[in-house]
Amino acid sequence: MVYSDRCGLEELVAPYAIAESVHGRLSLGGDWTRSWITAWSFNGDEVVWPVRDLGAVPLLRSQPVRPFTWRARQRHRPGLQFLVSTGRHHGFESLEEQRLLLAMSAAAPPA
């Protein structure tokens, strides 16, 4: 048994291998951080940043790009998870993301 208050993130998250067929399709050339982009919403406007510039994104002023809604018989399970480490609810789009949020919260000191 691993107690979450006495371990690191690497002990709470089980790594998995990416199949070579999938890995070969990823564009990870020397300039990938410039060509991969992220979208953020600020005051209702969508703003796009390259991955390499994410350090300059004012994250605390952003809003979710899309809402977290769900219905019966949906194939994935989005929702909100409260994290003690931040004192806030955080959105997730799958059970795997929910588990990662919990693992990250357990590994981080409280806010």
Confidence at 26, pLDDT banded by 50, 70, 90: low
- DSSP class of residue 79? E
Q: What percent of the chain has pLDDT over 90?
A: 0
* Residue range 67-89: mean pLDDT, rounded: 77
